[in-house]
Amino acid sequence: MVTYKQAGVDISKGNALVKKIKKFAPAIGFFSGFYPLDTKKYKNPVLVSSSDGVGTKLKLAFLLNKHDTVGIDLVAMNVNDIITCGAKPIFFLDYYACSKLDLKVAEPVIKGINEGCRQADCVLLGGETAEMPGFYQQGEYDLAGFAVGIVEKDKIIDGSKIKPGDIIIGLPSSGLHSNGFSLVRKIFSEKELVKYGKELLTPTRIYVQEVLFALRSSLFAIKGIAHITGGGFLDNIPRILPKNCQARIYKKTWRVPEVFRLIQKKGKIPEKEMFRVFNMGIGMVIIVDPPSPRLRRAGKLISFRHSGSLPDKIWQAGALGMTKVHKLLKGFVVIGKIVSGKPAIKII
């Protein structure tokens, strides 16, 4: 007689994981997840969905045997996509697949997912744990996430209102986020990956709360939002540009974190490739109207470090951000402007 456990699938261990998860995510456990939608808050609600993974950043987690941050990455990659249209993430589902289920590995991963949901103010509604012997390498796993958000139909942000003269704001990243790790692993030796592992595994910044707060503030009109993920600046910003608009980015307006310079130097990577693979220190881009008199009156003028690369007229317009705006969008910096032209991006 042969049992399922002898074939490599331990149902009891899977049930034990569910019991552990229910202690901090009580909504899970049924055949499906339920989310009560308060329709009174919306006149014409639209549901928004996203699906993404963490990619080969997981390989670094395996190498360092550190699994408590990649769950945050998983949530971030999905909810940061959701908010680009102005939607609020409401619930999240995960998929955890491995060759042999190890509770000491799986539990911190799921706890990280729950922490990501907490940061994004959404519910971990359910998920799937798949034990597939012989399918994955021993000691490894894969992750996939699925998020759903909601937005009022007439408040959807799709970039259609962007026009020449608008200002481009960049929100700092926490590091590489979850993109470009195949290239990083190609460049660095295993010893170097361990050396820089803590910084490389820094979880992706979740922008949900501050972007939604900024949208509600009405201090300025947000016309477009781009999540700088796979494809970097070059492939993501053009996705939100109308036919008559081109983005001009002034690369000296922010300090590129040293980790990107290290990667570029070690791999002898052309700058254009860097801006197409990595976020270069800017994880989210927001396109807004030039500051209005109302914005100028909103608080005291804050000072920026002017690199000299941004034309004075545009810099002066962008530098009229206020203390209140900085509280809304932590660490934001004006990185460029919209000009007339075919949808594209020029980095100067």
Which pLDDT tens digit goes with each residue over 122-159? 999 999 999 999 999 999 999 999 999 999 999 999 99
The separation between the first and the last C-alpha atoms of the chain, rounded to the nearest angstrom, is: 69
Q: What is the mean pLDDT of residues 181-190?
A: 97
State the residue range of the domain holding 232: 167-347
Name the residue among 299, 264, 298, 268 with its Cα closest to residue 280. Answer: 264
Would you state the pLDDT for residue 319?
44
Alpha helix (H) ranges present in 284-334? Answer: 293-296, 312-318, 323-328
175 with 322, same domain: the answer is yes
Whether the predicted pLDDT of 304 surpasses 80: no
- Regarding whether 203 and 183 lie in a shared domain, the answer is yes
- Same-domain pairing of 78 and 171: no
pLDDT at 308 over 80: no
Least confident of 146-150, 172-176, 306-310: 306-310
Residue 246: other Cβ atoms inside 10 A:
19
Residue 16 lies in a domain: yes
The per-residue pLDDT of the chain, averaged, comes to 89
225 and 151 both lie in a single domain = no
Longest dimension (CA), the chain: 80
Stretch 308-317: mean pLDDT: 38
Neighbours of 281 (CB within 10 A): 21
Strand order in the sheet with 141-152: 45-53, 141-152, 88-98, 123-131
Q: What's the whole-model pTM score?
A: 0.91
**Rounded average pLDDT over 293-310:** 41
Please give the residue that has the higher pLDDT: either 326 or 288: 288
Out of 155, 186, 214, a domain closes at: 155
207 and 95 in a common domain: no
Instruction: Give the tokens for residue 87.
Output: 């939607």
Q: Checking DSSP bridges between strand 222-227 and strand 45-53, what pairing results, if any?
A: unpaired
Q: Each residue of 88-114: pLDDT tens digit?
A: 999 999 999 999 999 999 999 999 999
Q: Based on the fold, state whether residues 128 and 219 are members of the same structural domain.
A: no
In degrees, rounded to 5, the angle at the alpha carbon of residue 92 between the alpha carbons of residues 86 and 94 is: 140
- Alpha-carbon separation of residue 25 from 111, 313, 327 (angstroms): 9, 51, 31
Q: Which residue bears the tokens 């707060």?
A: 213
- The amino acid that residue 185 corresponds to is R
Distance, in Å, from the CA atom of 9 to the CA atom of 100, rounded to the nearest integer, reads 7
pLDDT tier for residue 176 given thresholds of 50, 70 and 90: very high
Residue 329 has pLDDT above 90, yes or no: no
- Look at residue 312 and tell me whether its pLDDT is greater than 90: no
Per-residue confidence (pLDDT) for residue 61, from 0 to 100: 98
Q: Tell me, what's the pLDDT at 301?
A: 32
Same domain, 201 and 327: yes
Based on the domain organization, do 19 and 144 belong to the same domain? yes
Number of C-beta neighbours around residue 278 at 10 A: 28
pLDDT-derived band of residue 294, with 50, 70 and 90 as boundaries? low
Question: Rounded to whole angstroms, how far apart are CA atoms 81 and 161?
Answer: 19
Domain edge (last residue) among 104, 128, 155? 155
Domain membership of residue 3 (yes or no) is no
Instruction: Give pLDDT, residue 194.
Output: 97
Is the separation of the CB atoms in 223 and 332 below 8 Å?
Answer: no
Sign of CA pseudo-dihedral 85, 46, 41, 114? negative
CA distance 39 to 188: 51
Partner residues linked to 248 by β-bridges: 337, 346
CA 98/CA 120 separation, integer angstroms:
26
Using a pLDDT cut of 90, give the percent of the chain over it: 77
pLDDT band at 29 (very low <50, low <70, confident <90, very high): confident
Looking at per-residue pLDDT, the higher value among 69 and 333 belongs to 69
How far apart, in whole angstroms, are the C-alpha atoms of residue 14 and residue 143?
A: 16
**pLDDT for the residue numbered 316:** 40
CATH number of residue 80's parent domain: 3.30.1330.10
